[in-house]
Amino acid sequence: MPSSPVSSRRFTVSEYEQLGDAGILDAEERVELLDGVVVPMSPVGSHHAAMVDRISRAFHREDKHLIVRTQGPIQLSVMSQPEPDVSILRPRDDYYAENHPGPRDVLLAIEVSDTTFVKDRYVKSVLYAEAGIEDYWIVDLASERIIVLRGPTPSGYKDISEFDVGTELAPTLLSNIRVRW
C-alpha cells in the first residue's frame, strides 16, 4: 500500500483573523502567525515580563510621543503577523485602531527571549528583515545579552552586534534617543 505524504496548509493573515473571529482559536490562546503557520507562544514568566516592562519604561521616559506597544500584532506581510514583546511605532492619532501597524510603521521591534531564542533569532529575524524592519533587537535573558540586528535584506540582516544588558543603545531610526535597561 503506497503511503501518502502529510499535507499542510498555510494561512493568510485574513484567514488567521477569521479563525479567531469564528472561535476556532480561543481568544486566550497565545499564538502568532509566522509565514502562514500558526505558532504557539510560550507562557510569559516573571523575569520575561519584568524585562518587557523595563524596556517599555525606558522608551516612554525618552520620548512620550512614541507609541510603545507591548505584545501587540504587527502585520509584516499577507502571511505573517507576529506579536513582538515590544514594538516602537511611529506616532499616529488613532493609535492604529483602524488596522495593525505594518513594516513602515515600526521603528524598532524587540523580542525578549528566554525559551524562544532559536525562533526569535532564526525565524522571526528573517521575517522582520524581509519586511524591511530597520532595527530588530533580541534580549537574550539566558546570556544577559542584547543582539542588535540592522540592515535588512531579503535573506536576513547584514549587521549583527551583541551587547551586554545595561549597555546604552540608540535605535537607527531614533538616533536622538538612547536607552538602557
- Residue 27 has a pLDDT of 79
CATH fold of 44-174 reads tt1808, chain A (3.90.1570)
The pLDDT of residue 1 is 55
pTM: 0.92
Rounded distance between C-alpha atoms, residue 111 and residue 62, angstroms = 20
Per-domain boundaries in the chain: 44-174
Identify the pLDDT of residue 168. Answer: 95
Cβ proximity of 85 and 43 under 8 Å: no
Regions of the chain short of the pLDDT cut 50: none
Where are the strands (E) in the chain, listed by range? 31-34, 37-40, 67-70, 86-89, 106-113, 135-140, 145-153, 156-164
Residue 63's pLDDT is 85
